Copies of this chain bind each other. A is one copy, B any other.
């Protein structure tokens, strides 16, 4: 599964049961947290996202609505006896804040916490199957988007063929990884007899807080899904510009220019009690737009 679950879809001031920014990118059983606004640990409980499966947290920028939930989550994981390393990627000053908060509380975490500075475009994570990169966006303070690119997608299994060759179901994942099946008598079922070529790797990008900026396009071009902020409707384009935010129409225009397949929109201002107009405005320009709704998982 490669999906994005929204935990917070509002801008800075929580309102109308909408929370500050947080989303969970789930890939191959691992939960990657993107931003961590206040209340994230409660939203994780509300939407039954397993905290123990969080290994990496990516913080786009250090406006409070994108990271004020981080210190609480870090503490809670320790109180719950978390064991694995937790990697946090964020602009540089974050480490000073977290270390200060731990020091004055006289807290020793029971797991290793590695806080990595991000300073410019970079590859942050490179596993066998997934690459996570960051790219700068255009916001009032230093801010980064994150791209999640499936690197080694699975080959497409033909289950009828696999059954015909009497390959046990427990071996199917290894078939998708490209392995041949060796029977007990030593004879070989060639992988290409039961699988087809893989679909291209899926790609998702979180474009953080940003004003409309076409310099983002090279980082998201042709992606299967992107999330782009839409703090305001387009009749407030000037205000959006002056605050380094985007309108719904602008998000849709960027999605169209970047040739992505699907657009998720969020980071709604607390001025708006309902969201239909955001959806409509974006769909007029880019039909395959969806509102990022809290608790909903969107497949990449």
Instruction: Give A contacts to B, CB under 8 Å.
Output: 12-15, 19-20, 38-39, 41-42, 45, 62-65, 68-69, 71-72, 75-76, 79-80, 93, 96-97, 100-101, 104-107, 140-141
Residues A38 and B69 in contact, CB atoms below 8 Å apart: yes
A230 to B140 alpha-carbon distance, docked (Å): 45
Residues A141 and B62 in contact, CB atoms below 8 Å apart: no
Residues B68 and A64 in contact, CB atoms below 8 Å apart: no
CB contacts (< 8 Å) of A80 on chain B: these are 13
A80 to B106 alpha-carbon distance, docked (Å): 34
Residues B45 and A76 in contact, CB atoms below 8 Å apart: no
Residues A14 and B38 in contact, CB atoms below 8 Å apart: no
Of the candidates A41, A79, A96, A101, the one having the most CB atoms from chain B within 10 angstroms of its own CB is: A101
Residues A104 and B62 in contact, CB atoms below 8 Å apart: yes
A62 to B107 alpha-carbon distance, docked (Å): 11
User: Quick one: copies of this chain in the complex?
Assistant: 2
Residues B71 and A106 in contact, CB atoms below 8 Å apart: no
CB contacts (< 8 Å) of A107 on chain B: these are 63
Would A97 and B101 be within 8 Å (CB), given that A41-B14, A65-B72, A68-B71 are in contact? yes
CB contacts (< 8 Å) of A42 on chain B: these are 14, 19, 38-39
6 shortest interchain CB distances as A-B pairs: A93-B104, A38-B72, A39-B39, A68-B72, A62-B104, A64-B75
CB contacts (< 8 Å) of A39 on chain B: these are 38-39, 42
Residues A76 and B106 in contact, CB atoms below 8 Å apart: no
CB contacts (< 8 Å) of A45 on chain B: these are 14-15
Contact of A75 among B12, B75, B76, B141 (CB under 8 A): B12
Since A13-B79, A38-B42 are in contact, a sample of 16 more A-B pairs with Cβ atoms closer than 8 Å, ordered by chain A residue number, is A12-B75, A14-B45, A20-B72, A38-B68, A38-B72, A39-B39, A62-B104, A62-B105, A63-B107, A64-B105, A93-B104, A97-B97, A100-B100, A104-B141, A105-B141, A106-B141
Residues A105 and B38 in contact, CB atoms below 8 Å apart: no
Q: How far is the CB of A45 from chain B (nearest CB, A)?
A: 7
Residues B141 and A76 in contact, CB atoms below 8 Å apart: no
Residues B79 and A71 in contact, CB atoms below 8 Å apart: no
A96 to B104 alpha-carbon distance, docked (Å): 11
Would A63 and B100 be within 8 Å (CB), given that A13-B76, A41-B38 are in contact? no
CB contacts (< 8 Å) of A12 on chain B: these are 75-76, 79
Contact of A140 among B13, B64, B106 (CB under 8 A): B106
Residues A72 and B79 in contact, CB atoms below 8 Å apart: no
